[in-house]
Amino acid sequence: MQRPSRISSKSFIIGIHVVIWLAFMILPLVFIESQEGKIRFVQMGWFLLLLIAGYFYLNYFILIPKLLFKGKTFAYILSLLAGLVIIITLSEFYFFFLETYINHRSHHHHLFGRFTFIPLTPALVAFAVSSSIKITSEWFINERQKKEMEAEKLLSELAFLKSQINPHFLFNILNNICSLARKKSDDTENAIIKLSQMMRYMLQDSKNEKVPLEKEIEYLQNYIELQRLRISDQVGIEFTTEGDPEVIMIEPLLLIPFVENAFKHGVSYLENSKIRILLRTEQNFLLFRIENRIVKPSVDMNLQESGIGLKNVVRRLELLYPGKHKLSVINDGARYIVELKIQFLP
């Protein structure tokens, strides 16, 4: 289906070139008053136009790609000079033949006389224009390819980061269900249902570039409910949402590493502990805040030295929202607070 459009595009470009060359041939006739002058211009101009056009396309399609772009500068310069010599020589013989045998004015034109370097100026113009167009077009093509490669690299890196995150959570949740099964808890069935909902989100929805924020919230709620089944009543969990999550689209599995980290370091079976989670949306703005007591101090509490999950989410934020997010951490030895702000594009 794309082939006709390519053919029409090439035909359009060829048509433009033909019109431009014809304009170079016809427009000067407007400024020549005498009929004899117009005839002489046409007699000399068509041949010179062919030579200049040939020099233009020789430089554009062959010399620049085959020599200049491959670093063969000396050969490129020699080829340009050889082309100029050929143009001057052919045009000189043609003018001599024209004046001597067609116009019978041999006394006005001698080989390599005062008309010898007439083709030099248009040839240099053809060289300058063809070189400028070719080099500029190649620069734009290279820049486009560079951006495409950067975008492809970005997508590949994001996909790799996401693929690392999924198994990480799955292992933790399976361990939680396994502990419930050992206790022969009645909550095991409910936990399996929650897990199936989470896996559906991880395996299906997470393939999308973005998902509604409400789906990410549902995933967080399922994770928290699974955690509730295994921890004691001494752990208080607050999850508050404010605003309208339906108006926000977010990358899947972006927030869960912070929640998991809070449960990892903020839950104790021996003393009271509390985890507070706040998620607030305002049009194109998201605030995500988690606060927990530090009951299990660890070097992993540093985001930059954390495990796979937090390292990846920090990197994903850098890739997805450069200059559009702010991640701050407060660690005073007793409390650990993570606050994430994201400004989405309208």
pLDDT for position 85 = 92
The band of 249, judged by pLDDT with boundaries at 50, 70 and 90, is very high
Residue length of the chain: 346
Q: What is the pLDDT of residues 150-177, one digit of tens each?
A: 776 676 666 666 655 556 567 767 887 8
Q: Are the C-beta atoms of 276 and 294 separated by less than 8 Å?
A: no
Q: Are the C-beta atoms of 293 and 273 separated by less than 8 Å?
A: yes
CA 207 to the chain's CA centroid: 19
- Domains along the chain with CATH numbers: 3-142 (no CATH), 147-343 (3.30.565.10)
Mean pLDDT rounded to a whole number for the chain: 82
pLDDT exceeds 70 at position 309:
no
pTM attached to this predicted model: 0.57
DSSP secondary structure of 287-344? EEEEEEE-SS--GGGSGGG--HHHHHHHHHHHHH-TTTEEEEEEE-SSEEEEEEEEE-
pLDDT exceeds 70 at position 200:
yes
The band of 306, judged by pLDDT with boundaries at 50, 70 and 90, is very low
In whole angstroms, give the CA distance from residue 215 to residue 252: 8
pLDDT exceeds 50 at position 1:
no
